[in-house]
């Protein structure tokens, strides 16, 4: 079946502009995560969705970052008034959240590479 | 807060030999899970192996095995019979349980593995 998809794959924007990044999770996956990966670094957690609610937003770096999710489907990460330090790869992951399992694997999308000039 | 440390920025191995990638972790939770992911140059995150803190045996998946030493808080990845396609970044991660059922992953900075022919 189809995996997690993200669009656009690359985005170049000017400082101060707003950007929207899209994630299409695997069908039926109720959990959705956004991560950020700066150059040469590991992934940093941003936000977690269960269905269309976001009970864990603890990783959002500032109020310029927001995200929403439509039901158990598409999620959009919005960055307002972009800054150069926002340049990174933004990855989305979805998970089935099956109870009773020892762990729920997160399936990652290919990421969106954001460059802020 | 949980923390993952990967002390090897880069590792080299000859094709067909085994290699060990180091990972140490810090947590006060008695129940935790450890993951290894592979990230090729194309950027996708590929799940390799999982180890639960209460698992009695070290995890194995094909050529991948996890050398789990709980008292030392280490979870090293062993790749046997290295192949050229194993050249990639490797990330160790720990599951952190949080609000609303979040199972966010905390990542180390990664190790770049190069397999030489």
Residues B29-87 pLDDT 10s: 888 899 999 999 988 899 999 999 988 899 999 999 999 999 999 999 999 999 999 99
How far is Cα A70 from Cα A72, in angstroms, rounded to an integer? 6
Cα-based distances in Å from B103 to A84, A93, B32, B57: 29, 11, 10, 23
Residues A87-106 pLDDT 10s: 999 999 999 876 556 678 89
Greatest extent of chain B over all pairs of C-alpha atoms, in Å: 48
Q: Which residues of A touch B110 (CB under 8 A)?
A: 41-42
pLDDT at A102: 65
Between chains, do A41 and B109 touch, taking CB under 8 Å as contact? yes
* Contact with chain A for residue B1, Cβ under 8 A: no
How confident is residue A1, by pLDDT bands cut at 50, 70 and 90? low
Residues A39-58 pLDDT 10s: 988 999 999 999 889 999 99
pLDDT at A105: 86
For residue B103, is pLDDT > 80?
Answer: yes
For residue A67, is pLDDT > 60?
Answer: yes
Backbone angles phi, psi at B56, to 5 degrees: -75, -30
What would the two tokens of residue B87 be? 């050249």
Closest by Cβ to B50, choosing from A89, A103, A108: A103
């Amino acid at each position: 079946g189809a995996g997690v998809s993200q669009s656009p794959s690359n985005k170049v924007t000017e400082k101060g502009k707003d950007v929207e990044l899209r994630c299409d999770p695997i069908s039926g996956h109720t959990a959705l995560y956004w991560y950020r990966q700066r150059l040469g670094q590991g992934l940093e957690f941003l936000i977690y969705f269960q269905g269309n609610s976001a009970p864990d937003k603890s990783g959002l770096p500032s109020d310029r970052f927001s995200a929403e999710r439509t039901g158990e489907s598409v999620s959009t990460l919005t960055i307002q008034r972009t800054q150069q330090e926002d340049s990174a790869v933004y990855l989305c992951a979805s998970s089935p959240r099956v109870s009773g399992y020892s762990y729920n694997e997160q399936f990652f999308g290919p990421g969106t590479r954001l460059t802020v000039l | 807060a949980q923390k993952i440390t990967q002390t090897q920025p880069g590792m080299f191995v000859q094709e067909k030999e085994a290699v060990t990638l180091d990972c140490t972790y810090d947590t006060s939770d008695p129940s935790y899970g450890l993951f290894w992911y592979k990230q090729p140059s194309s950027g996708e995150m590929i799940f390799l192996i999982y180890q639960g803190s209460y698992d009695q045996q070290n995890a194995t998946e094909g050529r991948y095995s996890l050398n789990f030493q709980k008292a030392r808080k280490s979870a090293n990845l062993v790749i046997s019979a290295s192949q050229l396609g194993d050249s990639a970044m490797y990330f160790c991660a720990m599951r952190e349980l949080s609000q609303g059922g979040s199972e966010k992953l905390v990542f180390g900075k990664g190790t770049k593995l190069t397999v030489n022919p």
